[in-house]
Structure 1
């Protein structure tokens, strides 16, 4: 919270700051704040109206689907959901137990590869 907001929201702090002001200056500040409040309330009301309209549209779509005998799951099977493509492995190494490990070269270096690199292998030695 900024100092200005703290000042405005704490009555005693505001009273202290207003002691040096003339009555007309306080009236001007009140008028400005009232105008700002009205603008803010109009914005909030507009957002509420938009949200209410959106919900009404959703309800109308749900009703149309119900009347048509269409289930939401039916539609979901038709939607292409973006699937994160798995990156093909670029490196592979066999550990001391004979287990094969593959790595794309992205992200944190897996322990099996780190052990191989510590033992003297390079990334180029592990290329598939």
Structure 2
């Protein structure tokens, strides 16, 4: 839990932090938090709806498999051999040797990117492919 989260989650800590704020500043914070809450509610509802649709599709496939007298074992090898989708590069840099490097942004930051960020004092967003 971050320090700001600890303050926000404890009423007395929050009250102490707000003592020096004006009413307008507190109202602004409340309005911003309300906006964030509405975004989170919408995201959660969208996730629930996506899960519901996915489960409906799974149930439809299950029924179709039953009707065709197929089990998981019958199609397992076909599913396992499906080609994996390659993730496109999201970031690129050109190192000191003039070599271009690409990174999807997933997983650990590659050493060459980390060194570039440190040497140039930038973050990964500065290397975003447009």
Q: How does 1:104-115 map to 2 (within 5 A)?
A: none
State yes or no: 1:43 paired with 2:43: yes
Kindly state the Cα deviation for residue 23 of structure 1 after the two structures are TM-superposed: 1.3
Report the alpha carbon displacement of residue 76 of structure 1 after superposing the two structures with TM.
2.1
Question: Which one has a bigger Cα radius of gyration?
Answer: 1
How many Å separate the matches in 1 of 2:9 and 2:78? 52
User: Alignment length, in residue pairs?
Assistant: 82
In the aligned structure 1, how far is the partner of 2:23 from the partner of 2:55?
47
> Quick one: distance in 1 between partners of 2:25 and 2:67?
63
**TM-score normalised to structure 1 length:** 0.58
Q: TM (normalized to structure 2)?
A: 0.58
Q: Which residue of 1 aligns with 2:4?
A: 4
SS in 1 for 2:25: helix
Q: List structure 1 runs of 4+ shifted beyond 4 angstroms.
A: 77-81
**Residues 17-66 of structure 1: per-residue CA shift (max 9 Å, x gap):** 11111112111110110001101111111111111111110000000111
Separation of aligned partners in 2, 1:80 and 1:15: 56
Q: Show the counterpart of 2:64.
A: 64
Q: Which residue of 1 aligns with 2:33?
A: 33
1:19 and 2:19 aligned: yes
**What runs of 5+ residues in structure 1 fail to find an aligned partner?**
82-128
